[in-house]
Structure 1
C-alpha cells in the first residue's frame, strides 16, 4: 500500500489507475512474455504500452514509469484477476487494432521440449500470429489472436493444444484437457462450454445444431457493445454460410453446428485419453478437418466394443444377490437384461453387409457399388434403365412411380380422401368412429420411412406373391443393449440386417467372453429361441446361465402351448428369483425403461456417418452410467467394480 501511495503522490496518478495497471498487466501477461522466458521482461512491448496508454488515459512515458515501479509487484501478483465488462470493452476498442485481444491463446511452451532436439531447452523463436474466434461460456464469442512458435533446431511447431512433429506431420497433444480447445482452423471453444453441450445432449437429447442455435441467440455477449466498431457483429440467421466473414474480422463470430459437434468429439477424446493416461495424436497436413478425427474415433470405438465400457464390471445390491445354500456355501446371482431399440445408421443396401459406406449419401459400399446399376425390385438382376431405378418391366416401373408419388402431398391427401370415402360407404348410415377411420386410412396409406420396402398393390399379393423394391437408402435394423437390472449399461452393438438370434448370441459372448463373466441369469424377450440356438452350438459357454424371458414379454408374446419355452424360459420356473412375498428379485423391465432414454437419440444420430454414430452413442452411455452409479451411491446401494482381469481370465 505504501508503494501505491508513493506512486500516486510523486506522479500525480490516481490510485485506481495504478490498480487498473496491475490488473491489465495480468490480462496481457502472455503478450508481454511473447517469445522470451517467463521472467519479467525489462520493458513492455510497444503494442502493450500503446494499449495501456489508451485504456488508462495516461502518457506512454507514465506507462513505462509504472512498469519500472510496479512491474515486479504486478508480475508476481498471485491473485488471478477476473476481467470486468469494462475491461473487455477496452480490448475491443483499443486492443484489436494493436493486435491484442482479450484472452488471446498461446502455446504453453516457450522453449523446445523435444528431448532429442539439438536445441532442446532453447528459446522458441519463429513466431506466427493469426486472427481467430474464441467461443466462451459466460463472455460470448470473442475476437482474439492465436499465437504459435517454432523451434529452429527440430522444426517442431508449438500451438495452444498440441505440437506438430515436422517429420511425421502429426499433432501430438500435450496431455490433459485444456481450458480452451481448438476445434477448427482459427476457431476455439472453452472446455466448460463443451461440457455444457455434452450435458445437454445426454440429459435432454439436444443436438449440436440446437446447442449452436441456443448459443447464438444469447444477447448478453459483452463484445456486442463495441464489436460494431470493428465490423465483426455476428448474425443469427441459420442459413448463413458458415465460412462467411464478418466485416473487418477474418473469422466468423457465429458458432456453427459443425464447430459444436467437432468440439464435442475432440473434447470427449481428450477426456478419454486423460482417463487412460495416454496421449492423443492426430494427422496434421493433407487431410480435411472433417476426417482428421476419424482414426482416433474409430480406435476409441474398437476399445468400447464388448468389455470396453467403463462400468462393464459393475455390481451392486440391485443387480447382484448373495445367498447361502443348504450346504452353507455362498451363492452368487447376477443378472443381465438385453433388448434392442430401432435406432439405426445408413448402411449398404445388401442385406447384413457390415462394410462402411464411402460417404453418408451413398447407397452401396465399395464392394457392392455395382448394385447401383441393377433394378431396385427385389429378386430382379436386370440392369436398370437410366435415369430410372428399375428395369423396363412394367410392374417394376409401376413400383418406382408409386414410390416417388408417395412423397408428394397431393398423393397423400387423395389417398386419405379415398380411404375415408371407402370406409364410410361400407357403413351406410352407421355412425363413423373417428379412431377406426384414422386406423383404416393409415392402413391404406402405408408407412413411409427410409427403410420401408415398396410393395405392389397387385391382386397377386392375395395369391401369396408380393413384389418389393428398395428405393431409399437402407438403415441398420437396431441397436442392441445389455444392461444390469440397476440400469448400468454394460455393452452396445449394432444389428445390421435384423435382430437375429445368432447375432444376439454372438453379442452376448463378446460382452461376456468367459464363463466366469457370464451372468447367472440372462433375460431376453426371445430367450426360448436363443435357448434352442445355444444348445447345439455354444452350450458350454452358457452352462451356468439360466435364460428366462423377461416378465413383460413372456406374458405378452409367448404361447402357453410352447412346451420348451414354458419349461426352460418361464420366469416362474426359477423360484430363486422370486421373493417370499411374490415379487421379482430383479427388475427385468429395465431394458424397456432404458430404451425410453436411449431411443430419443434417433433424431440426433439419424444422419451421422457410422464412426461418429458409434462414438456418440458410446459416449452418451458412458455419461449415463456415471450418473446412474452416482445415484446408486447416494441411495445407499454400494456400487463396486469387480476384478475385471479375474473375470476375463
Structure 2
C-alpha cells in the first residue's frame, strides 16, 4: 500500500490508476510474455503499452514508468482479480485494434517439447496470430486472438489444445481435458459450456441446434449486440446467412449447431482418453467432420458388448444373495432386455450393415447397382429414367408422390365445412346431426385409405430411404444400462440372442435370470443352437407381457417362461424381487432421443447414444450411493476369463 501511495505522489498519478495497472497487467500476462519464456520481460510489448495507455488514460511513457516501478509486484502478485464487464468492454473498445483481446488463447508451450529435436528446450520463435471467437459460459461470445508457435528445428507447430507433428501431419492432444476446446478453425468453446450442453442433452433431450439457439438468445453477452469492433459491427442474429463476417473481424460471434455438436464429440473423446490415461491423436490436414470419424469409430468399437463403463456393475437391487437347502450361498443376478424404435438410415437391402456412402444415399457401395432397378418389391426390372419404377409400375410411383400434393383435397374440405356452417345460421343446431355428418366424412376417408392399403398389400415399393429397425438395450433391474446394439432388419430372435452372447461372452458372466418379452421364442432358439452358453440362465417373461402376449396353449412357454414357475424370485405377497419393468421405464428416457438422432450419420449416432448411456449410468450410480445401495464393480477380468 505504501508503494502505491509513493508512486502516485511522485508521478502525479491517481491511486486507482496504479491499481488498475496491476489488474490489467494480470489480464494481459500472456500478451506480455508472448513468445518469451516464463520470466518477466524487461519491457512491455508496444501493443500492450498502447492498450494500457488508452485504458488508463495516461501517456505511454507513464505506462513504462509504472512497469519499471510496479512490474515486479504485478508479475508476482497472487491476488485473485475479479474481472468486471467494464474491463471486458475496455478490451473490446481499445484492445482489439491493438492486437490484444480479452482471454486470448496461447499454446501451453513456449519451448520445443520434442526430445528428438535438435532445438529441444529452445524458445519457439515462429509466431502466428489470427482473429478468433471464444464462446464462454459466463462471459458470452468473445472476440479474441489465437496464437500458435512453431519450432524451426523439427517444424512442430504448437496450438492451445495440441501440437502438430510435421512428419505424420497428425494432431497430438496434450494430457488432460483443456479448459477451452477448439471446435473449428478459429472457433473455441469453454469446456464448462460444453459440459452444460451435454447436461441439457442428457436430462432434457435438447438437440445441438436448440443448444445453440438457447445460447445465442439467452447466454450470449448482451453487450455484443450492435457493438462495434474496430469498424466492425457484430450482432447475434440467428439467421444462418448472416455470419457476421463484416469489417475487419472475420469470425462470427453466433454459436452454430455444428460447433455445439463437434465440440461435444471432441470434448467427450478428450474426457475418455483422460480417464484411460491415453493420448488422443487426430489427422490434421482434413475437415473437422472427417477428422473425428476414426476416433469416434474406435470408441464405438470399444463400447460394443462389454465396453460400457459399468458393465460389471452389481448392487443389492440387481443382485440377490440367498441360502439354498444345503446352506450354500446362491447368487441371483438379473438382466432385462427390450428394444426401442430409434433408428438411423441404412442400406435398402434388408439386414445389410454396410455404411452408406453419404447421408442421402439409398444403397451402400456393395449394393449400388440396386439404384438401377424398379423399387417395387419383387419386380427386379430396370427402372425407366427419370422414374424410379419400371414401365409397368409408374402408377404406383404416381400415387406415392400424389400423397404429398393433396392441398386441393384440404381446400375442398375447408370449402365444404364453410358451406355447411353457413347453412346452419338459419336453422337450429342439432348436435346429433353434426355428429352424423362428421361420421360420414370420416367413414368416406377410411374407405379411400382402405383401398390404398389394399393396393399396398399387392404392390409394395421402397421409395424412401431405409432405416434400421430398433435399438436393443440390456439393463440391470436397478437401471444401469449394460449394453446397446442396433437391430437392422427387425428385432429378430437370432439377433437378440447374438447380442446377449456378445454382452455376456462367458458362462460366468451370464445373468441367472434374463427377462425378455419374447423369451419363449428365444428359449426355443437357444435349445437348438447355444444351449451350453445358457444352461445356468433362467428365462422368465414378466407378468405383464406373459398375460397379454403369450398363449395358454403354448406348452413350452408355460413350462419354461411362465413367471409362476420361478418361486425363488417372487415374494410371498406375489411381487418380483427384481424390477422387471425397468426396460419400459428406461425406454421412456431413451426413446426421446429419436428426434435428435434420426438424421445423424451412423458413427455419430452410435457415439452419441453410447455417451448418453455412459453419462446416465454415472447419474444412477451416484443416486444408488446416496440411497445406500452400495454399488460395486465386480472383477471384469474374472468374469470374462
TM-score range, shorter chain: over 0.9
The residue that corresponds to 1:561 in the other structure is 553
Q: Contact 2:347–2:364 (CA<8 Å) still a contact in 1?
A: yes
Q: 1:329 to 1:440 in 2, by over 3 A?
A: farther
The residue that corresponds to 1:374 in the other structure is 373
Q: 1:613 to 1:219 in 2, by over 3 A?
A: closer
Q: Tell me how far 1:556 sits from its aligned partner.
A: 1.3
Q: Tell me how far 1:247 sits from its aligned partner.
A: 3.0
Q: Tell me how far 1:430 sits from its aligned partner.
A: 8.7
Q: Tell me how far 1:83 sits from its aligned partner.
A: 1.5
The residue that corresponds to 2:572 in the other structure is 580
Q: Contact 1:113–1:120 (CA<8 Å) still a contact in 2?
A: yes
The residue that corresponds to 1:472 in the other structure is 464
The residue that corresponds to 2:498 in the other structure is 506
Q: Tell me how far 1:407 sits from its aligned partner.
A: 1.6
The residue that corresponds to 2:356 in the other structure is 357
How many Å separate the matches in 2 of 1:584 and 1:164? Answer: 58
How many Å separate the matches in 2 of 1:439 and 1:171? Answer: 63
The match for 2:596 among 604, 611, 616 is 604
Q: Contact 2:226–2:235 (CA<8 Å) still a contact in 1?
A: no
The residue that corresponds to 2:425 in the other structure is none
The match for 1:483 among 466, 472, 475 is 475
Q: Tell me how far 1:191 sits from its aligned partner.
A: 0.6
How many Å separate the matches in 1 of 2:409 and 2:180? Answer: 51
The residue that corresponds to 2:64 in the other structure is 64
Q: 1:529 to 1:432 in 2, by over 3 A?
A: farther
* 2:221 alignment partner, SS class: coil
- Map residues 120-269 of structure 1 onto 2, 5 A cutoff: 120-218=120-218, 221=221, 223-224=223-224, 227-241=227-241, 245-269=245-269
Q: 1:647 to 1:115 in 2, by over 3 A?
A: same
How many Å separate the matches in 2 of 1:135 and 1:579? Answer: 55
- Map residues 493-642 of structure 1 onto 2, 5 A cutoff: 493-642=485-634
The residue that corresponds to 1:451 in the other structure is none
* 1:177 alignment partner, SS class: coil
The residue that corresponds to 1:643 in the other structure is 635
How many Å separate the matches in 2 of 1:332 and 1:132? Answer: 59
Q: Contact 2:224–2:236 (CA<8 Å) still a contact in 1?
A: no
Supply the RMSD in Å over aligned alpha carbons.
2.3
How many Å separate the matches in 2 of 1:327 and 1:73? Answer: 78
How many Å separate the matches in 1 of 2:466 and 2:320? Answer: 43
The residue that corresponds to 1:426 in the other structure is none
How many Å separate the matches in 2 of 1:477 and 1:229? Answer: 52
Q: 1:312 to 1:446 in 2, by over 3 A?
A: farther
Deviations 1:485-526 (A, max 9, x none): 110000000000000000000000000000110000000010
| More off after superposition, 221-230 vs 245-254 | 221-230
How many Å separate the matches in 2 of 1:163 and 1:343? Answer: 39
* 2:483 alignment partner, SS class: strand
* 1:217 alignment partner, SS class: helix
Gaps of 5+ in 2: 418-431
Q: Contact 1:479–1:492 (CA<8 Å) still a contact in 2?
A: yes
Deviations 1:455-489 (A, max 9, x none): 7644xx8xxx6210000000000000000011000
* 1:351 alignment partner, SS class: coil
Q: 1:593 to 1:242 in 2, by over 3 A?
A: farther
Alignment TM-score, normalising by the size of structure 2: 0.94
Q: Tell me how far 1:309 sits from its aligned partner.
A: 0.5
* 1:146 alignment partner, SS class: strand
How many Å separate the matches in 1 of 2:472 and 2:406? Answer: 35
Q: 1:411 to 1:33 in 2, by over 3 A?
A: same
Deviations 1:564-594 (A, max 9, x none): 1111001111001101222111111100011
Q: Tell me how far 1:386 sits from its aligned partner.
A: 0.4
The residue that corresponds to 1:400 in the other structure is 397
Q: 1:307 to 1:14 in 2, by over 3 A?
A: same
Q: 1:148 to 1:468 in 2, by over 3 A?
A: same
The residue that corresponds to 1:11 in the other structure is 11
Q: 1:412 to 1:295 in 2, by over 3 A?
A: farther
